[in-house]
């Protein structure tokens, strides 16, 4: 054999002694080579038949529609999945028919699709592969199918003689995608309407509670009750603002900002003072620097500080103080809020800024996720071209917001 493997010998016998001429010897050599060539051809045919059978089995058992087209775009072969996909009872209904006229004649909007725009026709005409991510083909009963398909040219030598088409039915995936998009839109619309509809009556409640809490002629018990209503309303107001901001972000809108000269220490001082009044049983420690001033939105930063302090109160140990610190470092102002108590599990740390990760009943809120407020904190920090980080160990959990002092 060409690789040097010895198969055997060519044996010639006669009844009398002969001396072979050089021509006769060459004839025997040529005959031996023909035997080798025939053996090699037989072996190659055997391998080819085996591979053809494997390929035929793959095509026949594939769950994707596979078909062949000739140079005129007519079906030359179809697999069972192709018949199922397009709703035809047997191959004879397709073989010899025009793919474009039968299956790709109309666009999704109902307008006719010119054959010149057909990717299958281009594959034959231009001799190159084509992939279409989202198109519509048509079943035998006239119903549309959402598909992804790939087509590749078939060549005989250098001549393109047809194409192979692979079709994946994505109708169910598209239906689920549309349902999910509708559900998300409905949820966000509901959240927006709810937020807007709550703001007016909530403002009325807050104004009335403040008036009663500050009325000198009201009984002490009445003022105390009004103060509790006031602070509960403030918490509700923060939730409404967070909800509206979340809807804006999910809708692809930027959070509204009004940057102006703002002292971060003053913002933190005002927020801590509010929480001290609302939480007389908790201890707060505040430390600020005098040079943490930049062009920021003070209302947004107040929202950030308020959400972080509220989070520390909710999830921190009640016998540990909530520490708020404003510092300056390498061109940044840094707001840190720290609380004691149980740490956040390490595997949950990357997700604490994800929206809607509150705990379920009977579970620890910290272990289940820290909710919408932290999502707004992160979005606000990013919008100010800053960032926010969290570190949690056995002693403390610390959130740090870094804001650039430059514009």
Q: What is the dihedral of CA 298, 300, 301, 303, to 10 degrees?
A: 120
Size of the chain in residues: 407
Nearest residue to 79 via CA among 93, 61, 104, 95: 61
Nearest residue to 324 via CA among 382, 369, 370, 265: 265
Of 43-52, 112-121, 189-198, 310-319, the poorest mean pLDDT is in 189-198
Mean pLDDT of all residues belonging to the chain: 84
For residue 272, what pLDDT is reported? 94
Q: How far is 324 from 285, CA to CA, in rounded Å?
A: 6
- Reported as a single tens digit per residue, the pLDDT across 313-353 is 988 999 999 999 999 988 899 999 999 999 998 888 888 89
Using CB atoms within 10 A of its CB, is residue 366 exposed (0-12), middle (13-18) or buried (19+)? buried
For residue 13, what pLDDT is reported? 86
CATH numeric code, 260-407: 3.30.565.10
Strand ranges for 306-377 from DSSP E? 322-329, 332-340
Reply yes or no on whether the pLDDT at 99 is more than 90.
no
- Reported as a single tens digit per residue, the pLDDT across 272-328 is 998 888 888 899 999 998 889 999 999 889 999 999 999 999 889 999 999 999 999
Whether the model clears a pTM of 0.85, i.e. scores above it, the answer is no
Q: Specify which of 28-42, 154-168, 317-331 reaches the highest per-range mean pLDDT.
A: 317-331
Q: Which two tokens stand for residue 323?
A: 């520490």
CATH topology of domain 62-169: Beta-Lactamase (3.30.450)
For residue 195, what pLDDT is reported? 65
Q: What is the mean pLDDT of residues 195-207?
A: 75
List of residues 6+ apart from 372 with CB closer than 8 A: 239, 242, 243, 246, 355, 356, 358
Reply yes or no on whether the pLDDT at 150 is more than 80.
yes
Q: How far is 390 from 376, CA to CA, in rounded Å?
A: 15
**CB neighbours of residue 126 within 10 Å:** 11
Task: Tell me if the domain spanning 173-253 has CATH number 3.30.200.
Answer: no
Nearest residue to 151 via CA among 141, 165, 137: 165
For residue 390, what pLDDT is reported? 94
Q: How far is 224 from 57, CA to CA, in rounded Å?
A: 82
Q: Where are the domains of the chain?
A: 1-60, 62-169, 173-253, 260-407
For residue 364, what pLDDT is reported? 46
Using CB atoms within 10 A of its CB, is residue 379 exposed (0-12), middle (13-18) or buried (19+)? buried
Reply yes or no on whether the pLDDT at 123 is more than 90.
no
């Amino acid at each position: 054999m060409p690789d040097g493997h010895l198969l055997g010998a060519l044996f010639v016998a006669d009844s009398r002694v002969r001396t072979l001429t050089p021509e006769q010897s060459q004839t025997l050599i040529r005959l031996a080579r023909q035997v080798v060539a025939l053996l090699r051809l037989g072996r190659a045919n055997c391998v080819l038949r085996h591979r053809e059978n494997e390929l035929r089995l793959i095509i026949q058992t594939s769950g994707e529609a596979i078909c062949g087209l000739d140079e005129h775009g007519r079906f030359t072969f179809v697999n069972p999945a192709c018949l199922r996909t397009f709703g035809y009872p047997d191959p004879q209904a397709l073989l010899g028919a025009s793919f474009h006229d039968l299956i790709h004649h109309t666009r999704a909007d109902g307008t006719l699709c010119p054959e010149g725009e057909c990717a299958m026709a281009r594959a034959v005409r231009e001799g190159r592969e084509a992939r279409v991510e989202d198109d519509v083909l048509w079943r035998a009963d006239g119903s549309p199918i959402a598909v992804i398909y790939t087509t590749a040219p078939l060549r005989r030598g250098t001549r393109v003689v047809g194409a192979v088409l692979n079709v994946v039915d994505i109708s169910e995936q598209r239906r689920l995608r549309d349902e999910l998009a509708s559900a998300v839109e409905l949820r966000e619309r509901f959240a927006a309407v709810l937020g807007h509809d709550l703001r007016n009556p909530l403002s009325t409640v807050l104004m009335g509670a403040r008036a009663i809490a500050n009325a000198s002629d009201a009984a002490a018990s009445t003022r105390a009750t009004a103060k509790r209503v006031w602070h509960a309303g403030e918490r509700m107001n923060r939730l409404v603002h967070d909800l509206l901001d979340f809807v804006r972000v999910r809708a692809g809108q930027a959070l509204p900002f009004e940057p102006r000269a703002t002292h971060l220490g003053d913002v933190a001082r005002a927020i801590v003072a509010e929480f001290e009044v609302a939480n007389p049983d908790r201890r707060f420690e505040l430390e600020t620097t005098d040079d943490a001033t930049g062009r920021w939105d003070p209302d947004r930063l107040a929202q950030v500080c308020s959400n972080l302090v509220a989070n520390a109160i909710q999830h921190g140990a009640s016998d540990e103080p909530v520490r708020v610190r404003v510092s300056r470092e390498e061109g940044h102002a840094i707001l840190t809020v720290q609380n004691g108590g149980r740490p956040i599990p390490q595997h949950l740390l990357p997700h604490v800024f994800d929206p809607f990760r509150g705990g379920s009943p009977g579970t620890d809120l910290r272990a289940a996720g820290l909710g919408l407020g932290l999502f707004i904190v992160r979005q606000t920090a990013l919008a100010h071209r800053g960032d926010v980080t969290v570190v949690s160990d056995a002693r403390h959990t610390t959130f740090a917001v870094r804001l650039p002092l430059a514009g």
